[in-house]
Structure 1
Amino acid sequence: MDILQLENKNIVVMGVANDRSIAWGIAKKLFAVGANVIFTYRQERSAKKLNLLLEKNNYKATVIQCDVNSDESIATAFTEIGEKFGTIHGIVHSVAHARAEDLHNRFLETSREGYAFAQDTSAYSLIAAAKAAHPYMTEGGAIVTMTYLGAERVLDGYNVMGVAKAALEAAMRYLAADIGQDNIRVNAISAGAVRTLAAKGVPSFNTILHKIEETAPLKRNISQDEVADMTVVMLSPLSRGVTGETIYIDSGYHIMG
C-alpha cells in the first residue's frame, strides 16, 4: 500500500540552490515516492547547477525559469506547468533572500530598499506562487513553505530575514484560511539549523549550531533528510486534517526557555 499516495502527483519545488538545499533534500524524497517533480529556478546559474544534480542522480524532471520578484515571470511559469501537466497537486516554497548588508549591519540600519526586497522575495513570493498555481490545483492539494525560528525570536544576525519570515508565517495562515474551501492546505516547516547556502549568510550560524546541541531536548542538530521527510508527509494525504500550522523540525529547541 502506498501510504503517502504521491505517486504520479505533480509537485512544484521552488528554491534549489545546490545539493545542500533543503529543497533538494525534499525533491529526492519526492522522486523516491514516485512523484513528478517540477523545478523552478530564478537565474541561469541555478539552472545549470540543478541540471547537473539531476544528471548526476539520473533523475528526470521538468525545469522552468521563474523569477519570484516578477509577477509576469511567475504567471508564465505556472501557466507553462499547468498546460504541460494539467493539475498541480503540491508546491514546495523554499525561497528566501535578503541583502548581505542587512544581515551584517545593525537592524537599525536596515534600508527601505533592503526591507522591501527581503519581504518581496521571502514572503510575498508565497502569495504570488499560490495565486498563479491556484487555477491548476483543481484536485485540492498542499502548499508547504520553509520558515525559521527567527520569525518569532530574535536571533543574532538574522535581522531583516526574521521580519520577513514572520510575514511569511502570517501569509501562510491567511492563505490557509482563504483557499481551504478549495481543499488546498497551506503549512510551514520551521527547520532547525541546516548547513545550506542561505545559512552561510547568517553571521552567528556556527554559534547557533553549538547552542542547539547544548540546549535542544534531543541534544543534536537536525538533518536535511529529517526536514524532507516531514515535508513529504505534509504534502501527502496523511496530513489532510492539518492546515495553517507551523511545524518545527528542530530537535525540540523551540520549546526551551
Structure 2
Amino acid sequence: MDLSGRRGLVVGVANADSLAWSATRHFRNAGAELAMTYYNEKARSFVAPLAEEVQAQLLPCNVLEEGQLEAVFDALRDRWGRLDFVFHSIASARKEDLQGRLADCSGVGFAEAMLVSCHSFIRMAKLAEPLMREGGSLTTVSYYGAEKVVEHYNVMGPVKAALEASVRYLAHELGPARIRVNAISAGPVRTRAASGITHFDELLDEAARRSPQRRTVDGCEVGRVALLLASPYASAITGEVVHVDAGFHVEGMVFH
C-alpha cells in the first residue's frame, strides 16, 4: 500500500503505546509525509522522539486552547499547501465523570468531554476541507461503548455515540468534495487513555472471552486499518464505523 507523495496529520499520539502512534508508523512506512501534534510541554518529551523517528513536523495542539488547532492547520497550509488525510485520536473526560455515573455528570464536565472528544473532529473537518482540494480522508477512533452499554465507560459512551453520528453527517456533507469520513471502533487496547477506565483488566478479559476470535486486538491491527482508510484502496468507503475488535461487536455484553 503506497502513500508516497501524500501528506497527513496525526492528532493524538501521547506515547509509544498510543493507537495513533501505530497508525503513524504505518502511514510513514507506506511513504507518507507527516505532521504530528502534542498536548502540552510534559507530553512533548514523550512525543518528540517519536516524531523524529518518522521525520514528522511536530506542532502543539490543545483543542481547548483558543487558536491552537487553527494554528496547526495554518502551519500545514504554509508548509504543504494541501492535506491528504487526518487521523484524529483524542478523547478526554474529567476523572469524576469518567469514573462516576452518567446521571451524576456535571454540565461543564459533559461539555468538556464533548468538545475534546467529538467537536474537535468536526473542527478539524472544517479546517481540513479547504486543504483537501483533490479529496482526502478523515478518520477518528471510537469504541463499542458508543453502541451498547459497557460498564465503567460512563460519560464516554454518549460522547462516542455523538462522534459516530458526526462521522455520518460529515461524510454526507463533504462527500461532494471527495472527502471521505470514517471511524475505527477499536477493541480494548492497553493505552494511556484506557488507564482512566476502572476495571479495565476485566474489560480486556471479557473481550477475549466473548469475541469470536477469542482474543483482544493490538495497536498494529488498528494501525493497518487506519492505513487502509487513508489510502486509495478505500476510495468508496465513507460514513462507516469499521470495527477492529476481533468480532466482539457481533456478540455484545453488559458488565454486571
* TM-score w.r.t. length of structure 2: 0.96
Structure 2 residue runs without a partner (length 5+): none
Structure 1 residue 27 displacement after superposition = 0.4
Matching residue of 1:203? 198
Q: Distance in 1 between matches of 2:50 and 2:39?
A: 16
Matching residue of 1:29? 26
Paired residue total: 252
- Residue 256, structure 1, aligned to residue 248, structure 2: no
DSSP-derived class of the 1:159 partner:
coil
1:95 aligned partner, one-letter code: I
Matching residue of 2:174? 179
DSSP-derived class of the 2:239 partner:
coil
2:113 aligned partner, one-letter code: A
Deviations 1:13-56 (A, max 9, x none): 0000000000000001111111001102221222221112344x
Matching residue of 2:106? 111
Show the 5 A alignment for 1:208-247: 208-247=203-242
Structure 1 residue 204 displacement after superposition = 2.4
Q: Distance in 1 between matches of 2:51 and 2:114?
A: 30
DSSP-derived class of the 1:117 partner:
helix
* TM-score w.r.t. length of structure 1: 0.95
Show the 5 A alignment for 1:55-134: 55=52, 58-70=53-65, 72-134=67-129
Q: Distance in 1 between matches of 2:101 and 2:51?
A: 40
2:119 aligned partner, one-letter code: Y
Q: Distance in 2 between matches of 1:85 and 1:191?
A: 31
Aligned residues of 2:142 and 2:160 also touching (Cα < 8 A): yes
Q: Distance in 1 between matches of 2:123 and 2:173?
A: 14
1:13 to 10, 16, 23: 10
Structure 1 residue 165 displacement after superposition = 0.3
Aligned residues of 2:105 and 2:155 also touching (Cα < 8 A): yes
CA-based RMSD: 1.1
Aligned residues of 2:63 and 2:69 also touching (Cα < 8 A): yes
Matching residue of 2:151? 156
Q: Distance in 2 between matches of 1:42 and 1:200?
A: 17
- Percent identity, please: 38
Structure 1 residue 74 displacement after superposition = 1.4
1:134 aligned partner, one-letter code: E
1:117 aligned partner, one-letter code: E
Q: Distance in 2 between matches of 1:162 and 1:126?
A: 17
Q: Distance in 2 between matches of 1:39 and 1:247?
A: 23
Structure 1 residue 70 displacement after superposition = 3.9
Deviations 1:47-74 (A, max 9, x none): 221112344xx33110111221245221
Deviations 1:162-202 (A, max 9, x none): 11100100111110000000000000000001000011111
Structure 1 residue 77 displacement after superposition = 1.2
Runs of 4+ in 1 over 4 A off after TM superposition: none
Aligned residues of 1:71 and 1:128 also touching (Cα < 8 A): no
Structure 1 residue runs without a partner (length 5+): none
2:15 aligned partner, one-letter code: N
Aligned residues of 2:8 and 2:84 also touching (Cα < 8 A): yes
Aligned residues of 1:144 and 1:189 also touching (Cα < 8 A): yes
Aligned residues of 2:91 and 2:117 also touching (Cα < 8 A): yes
Structure 1 residue 86 displacement after superposition = 1.2
1:28 aligned partner, one-letter code: R
